[in-house]
Amino acid sequence: MNLAHAAQLQPVFDEDHRRMFLEQHGWRIDKPVGKDSSIRRYFRVTKGPQSAILMETVPDGSPHATPGHALGDFIRIAEWLRSIGVRAPEIYEINTEQGYVLLEDFGDACLRDTVEADPSQEAQLYNNAADILHHIAEQDCPLDLPDYYESHVHRRHRRVVDWYVPMTRGRANEEGLVDRYKEVWQEIESSVPPCPQGFVHVDFHAQNLMVMQNENGLSALGILDFQGAMIGPSIYDFTNLLEDARRKISPSVKAQILDDMDPVQQAWFRIMATQFHCRVIGQFIKQATLDDNEVYLKHVPRLQSYLHEAVKEPVLKPLKQFFDDCDVDFSGPCDFNVAELRARVAADAQ
């Protein structure tokens, strides 16, 4: 989201409506607890000794609504996750017309912060997360959700070609390069058995997993930010978990979780994770170039490292050959120049 667009969105939130919603149900605001990259804000609210989280967003159907972040989707997906024994927040009160939901308060201890404060918990917490994903993959999901392969999430893994390649090569892409890139992935995906399909959270990373004190098993972690869920390759969510753009987990923990997968799952993990990195590395460069938002550039070296190692895997041999032919690798620092990159990027870049 660019800064001008963000500024246009500020008036959609009405403090009087928020106050009336809370007073109607006997709650009051304690403090803000942050916002995310979509049009949502969060407040911790209290009613006597009780606490809850107020999620404030724009109503579904609003011109300001973000695709893939519908309030109605959050509500129905939360209900389904709870029905299969996964710890999604209980919903206390709803006003869909004004965009308010009162949620169960999972506290402030996300997986990332907990592990950074106490690394000895990393193995147990990441294994808890993996167990939750395996459990979800075993369920038949009855929800009508978008198809991953028809989504922007899948389509935009081309962003590595749209943004990273012209940046590192110092020139505009030649005609047809994106089409060649897509053909490489078709070759790779057709070389392995089909991946089982199912519910995909899409944003299953360490900051969306809340550590539930004195809980274990499927209830050890509370799951947030699932409203953009899809039906797609069931292995997809392991990519964000094990190769997070924001942090690297211990190699031994990652290896143990991958060793518990069968060979088909392992192959698809490598495919899904690499496509994920191809999308995100291009996305971060795009945000810096078009939106003057350079905050995510600090994660680019980590994504380069993931990609540098990934293309060594036999299943990705055609992709390595593609990047070799382009004279592009992921081993060195990026020379980032916004003005020059704007001039090199193709008009149809995503």
What is 111-344's CATH number? 3.90.1200.10
Distance CA 132, CA 112 (A): 17
- Give the domain 3-104 fold: Phosphorylase Kinase; domain 1 (3.30.200)
**How many other CB atoms are there within 10 angstroms of residue 194's CB atom?**
10
**Residue among 173, 182, 167, 350 at smallest CA distance from 275:** 182
Distance CA 174, CA 30 (A): 55
Where are the domain boundaries for CATH 3.90.1200.10 in the chain? 111-344
Residue 330: predicted pLDDT: 94
Beta strands per DSSP E along the chain: 28-35, 40-47, 50-57, 91-95, 100-104, 197-200, 209-211, 221-223, 230-233
Distance CA 166, CA 170 (A): 6
Residue 156: predicted pLDDT: 95
Burial letters 33-59, b for 16+ CB under 10 A, else e:
eeeeebbbebbbbbeeeeebbbbbbbb
Q: pLDDT per position in the chain (350 positions), as tens?
A: 333 344 444 446 778 889 899 999 999 988 888 655 557 889 999 999 999 999 998 777 666 666 556 788 899 999 999 999 999 999 999 998 888 999 999 999 999 999 999 999 999 999 999 999 999 999 999 999 999 999 999 999 999 999 999 999 989 999 999 999 999 999 999 999 999 999 999 999 999 999 999 899 999 999 999 999 999 999 999 999 999 999 999 999 999 999 999 999 999 999 999 999 999 999 999 999 988 888 889 999 999 999 999 999 999 999 999 999 999 989 878 777 888 888 888 888 89
Residues facing residue 56 across a β-bridge: 41, 100
Residue 5: predicted pLDDT: 41
The tokens describing 342, both together, are: 């704007």
Where are the domain boundaries for CATH 3.30.200.20 in the chain? 3-104
Query: What secondary structure does DSSP assign to 153-202, as a single string?
Result: HHHGGGHIIIIIHHHHHTSPPPTTHHHHHHHHHHHHHHTSPPPPEEEE-S
